[in-house]
Structure 1
């Protein structure tokens, strides 16, 4: 199951990246996350973890598996029967704007069931994240 949202932000990729990787501050700009606790100090990097608390979902530990500085990061959260991958990609545009592509991808034995039960919520949350990121970056 894959849930996606895209947006264009009237800000350069460097500014958008700074907001995006400051995951502890996500609750300030997206209603899809109520609390974030980093597992370790310092900048977001491969292997870094964060526990996200989201309305209507159990807290989940996310671990960064891929990161290209200033452009994209992917993290995963595993629960019995389901692996959830969060993708965050920035694409600088020629006019100075930044296209943001966000996705939640679920795989595993129970992914289909979880997708049917929570698909609407996950689709809504990835949309809220895109909208909130745009508002935060364009406000700055």
Structure 2
């Protein structure tokens, strides 16, 4: 298994940051990485969707876990394996929230993620976290 990700402390309150981070269909409106994201039902465990980031192939995913105002997880099939993405957050003092994303790649595409997609995504996460902070402040 190959694991990568990043975290950042941003300004905001957990309820608002959570609301932004669970509104996946609006990701393309504020996240510079997102080209498309849709859900085939309400946000919750078992709901499937489709996501595509700029410059990467898109694909289906299923929400596999939700702990309100703490973490939600999505799993995507990969040839011979899977990609699991955890979106986490926790209060980090007055008006601050620590947000993080962790990616877990299982299967034969692990080396491709280690050499190409992982570093690319890791570099882009700073922009995602900054955009999340801006969108939460806007709401």
TM, length-normalised to structure 1: 0.88
CA separation in 2, counterparts of 1:129 and 1:105?
18
Give the length in aligned residue pairs. 138
Alpha-carbon contact 2:51-2:59 (below 8 Å) kept: yes
SS at match of 1:94: coil
Q: Could you report, residue by residue, the CA deviation over 1:75-100 in whole angstroms, capped at 9, with x for unpaired residues?
A: 11111034111111111123132111
CA separation in 2, counterparts of 1:127 and 1:106?
20
Alignment pair present for 1:134 and 2:138:
no
Alpha-carbon contact 1:75-1:87 (below 8 Å) kept: yes
Could you list the runs of 5+ residues in structure 2 that have no partner in the other structure?
none
Deviation beyond 4 Å, 4+ runs, structure 1 = none
CA separation in 2, counterparts of 1:88 and 1:111?
20
Could you list the runs of 5+ residues in structure 1 that have no partner in the other structure?
none
**1:5 aligns to what?**
6
Structural RMSD (CA): 1.6
Deviation at 1:117, TM superposition (A): 2.7
Task: Compare the two structures and name the one with the higher strand fraction.
Answer: 2
